[in-house]
Amino acid sequence: MIKITDETYDTFIKKGEKIKIIKLGATWCNPCQMAIPPCNELSKEMENDIEIAELDIEESPNVATSLNCRSVPLFIKFKNGQQVSQQVGWPGKEKLKEWIKSS
C-alpha cells in the first residue's frame, strides 16, 4: 500500500490501467490502523489487478473534502480515473476483497 497526499492524488488515480483503491483514514482511528496490515496483504495478493493507496485525512484535507469523506475508514474504488464505489468502515479482509472484485 502506498501513501498518497493532496499533491499525489491525481497522479495515482490517473496512471495505469489497474483498479485503484484509496483508504482514507487517520492515525487516531483504531479501525483505520487495524486495516493497514490486511490492506498491505491484499495489495500484494492482488498486485496484478489493483493498486491500494492510503490517504491521511488530516495531512491531506483537500482530497478528503473533495471525496465527501464523512467518516473513516472509507475505501473508494476507481476505474479509469472515475470513482465507481465506496465502502464505509472496516469490513474485514475477506469482505473488502469481495468488494474490490465486484464491479
- Residue 86 confidence class, pLDDT cut points 50, 70, 90: very high
Indicate if 69 belongs to the active site. Answer: no
State pLDDT tens for residues 60-83.
999 999 999 999 999 999 999 999
Beta bridge partners of 3: 54
Indicate if 29 belongs to the active site. Answer: yes
For residues 38-50, one letter each, b for 16 or more C-beta atoms within 10 angstroms of the residue's C-beta and e for the rest, the string is bbeebbeebeeeb
Phi, then psi, of 13 in degrees rounded to 5? -65, -35
The catalytic position among 5, 26, 29, 85 is 29
- Strand pairing class (50-56; 19-25): parallel
The catalytic position among 32, 42, 53, 64 is 32
State pLDDT tens for residues 48-61.
999 999 999 999 99
